[in-house]
Amino acid sequence: MAMDAGEIERLIKAKFPDALVEIRDLAGDGDHYAAHVVAQEFKGKSRVQQHQMVYEALGGRMGGVLHALALTTAAP
């Protein structure tokens, strides 16, 4: 079963309440998304650490109900 874009945003916002989160369904199939996340919590973290933080927020859904996520992150 595919994951809804709103659910991806909700999970990320639960971990980073003040973040700017933009989610796009790349193929219109609910399986391939792009996410851009800007969060204060990323300040001083490497890009790899930032991505790990987002994947942690998604609670192990990557590779399961969330098939593919093209992720970009930034600190404000």
- With 90 as the cut, is the pLDDT of residue 7 above it? yes
Q: For 21-36, what is each residue's pLDDT tens digit? A: 999 999 888 889 999 9
For residue 60 the two structure tokens come to 């192990």
Residue 67 and residue 19: Cα distance in Å, rounded? 23
Give the pLDDT of residue 57: 97
**Residue position matching structure tokens 């998604």:** 58
Could you state, in order of their start, the residue ranges of all structural domains in the chain? 5-74
What's the pTM value of the predicted model, to 2 decimals? 0.92
| Class of domain 5-74 as given by CATH | alpha beta
For residue 28 the two structure tokens come to 């219109």
CA 19 to each of CA 9, 41, 53, 64: distance values in angstroms, whole numbers, following the listed order: 10, 9, 13, 24
Residue 59 and residue 48: Cα distance in Å, rounded? 17
